[in-house]
Amino acid sequence: MFLRHDNTIKWRLLGVATVVTAVLCALGIAWIDRPLFLFVREFDCALFRTMGDIFQAKVWLIITAVLVVMFYVKKALKSTPKFRNDRNRLSLTVFYTDFLQKTKTSYAFFIFCSIVSSCLVAGMIKFVVGRARPIFYEALGLTGFFPFNTEWAFNSMPSGHTTASFAALVMMGMLAPRIKWMTWTLAIVIGVSRVAVGAHWPTDVLIGAFVGMVMADFTKATLKKYLI
């Protein structure tokens, strides 16, 4: 979304999008979040709850990590893996270099790096913002922010599911443009499902989607510039 064909960032567009997202987030927190949350909650269903189990950040990470390893094994079987240095000693550095050289062009590697980077950013935002989850609003009518908090109940913003899913699926869309409409649609449905099941506020999903998109672009730009 913020990436040119030559894999450089559209900084002006990114700046405008950041401002727009921030304004929408502020409006959401002040007025829109609660009525929109209550409306979307009416669509809670078993499918959305199942999606919550499937599209967790850790599931994305495990699956893509396994695919990266499988890609490496496939490549390694076609050539002699380099596990030793010039003195014929086992070396983790040599192994890492060999692993990176064999996997850096795989789609799974791009997706994995996109998810990792987006989860790190989302984790920092969650800790700093410390937003109370909607369960407090539904049970007690309470909302609020408790900054620098590591408790699950106060780590609502941004949505981790949405962040990881957008990071993965937007990257898939960039690597395989023909299925871009499918990946974006799935990412949006995952985001909506997080509100429908009562796990997040709409603005949590908005910020998660934005972080996922941006980190997917940054990851692709960085990998293309320094590794490929």
Write out the two tokens for 74. 């496939």
3-state SS class at 206: helix
- Bridge partners, residue 84, by sequence: 90
User: pTM, whole model, 2 decimals?
Assistant: 0.92
For residue 189 the two structure tokens come to: 């449905």
Question: 8 φ, ψ to 5°?
Answer: -110, 150
In angstroms, the CA 91 to CA 217 distance is 33
Tokens of 163: 């962040």
- Where is pLDDT greater, at 102 or 84? 102
Other beta carbons less than 10 A from residue 54's beta carbon? 11
> Is the predicted pLDDT of residue 95 greater than 90, yes or no?
no
**Nearby residues of 81 by Cβ (< 8 Å), 6 or more positions away:** 95, 98
Return the pLDDT at 98: 72
Tell me the two tokens of residue 3.
């990436």
Q: Burial letters for 202-221: b for 16+ Cβ neighbours within 10 Å, e otherwise?
A: bbbbbbbbbbbbbbbbbbbb
**Angstrom distance (rounded) from CA 124 to CA 153:** 15
Q: What is the pLDDT of residues 12-40, one digit of tens each?
A: 999 999 999 999 999 999 999 999 999 99
Percent pLDDT > 90 in the chain is: 78
Give how far Cα 187 sits from Cα of 143, 192, 205, 212, Å: 27, 9, 11, 10
pLDDT in tens, 110-166: 999 999 999 999 999 999 999 999 999 999 988 999 999 999 999 999 999 999 999
d(CA 58, CA 53): 10
79 pLDDT more than 80: no
> Per-residue pLDDT for 225 more than 80?
yes
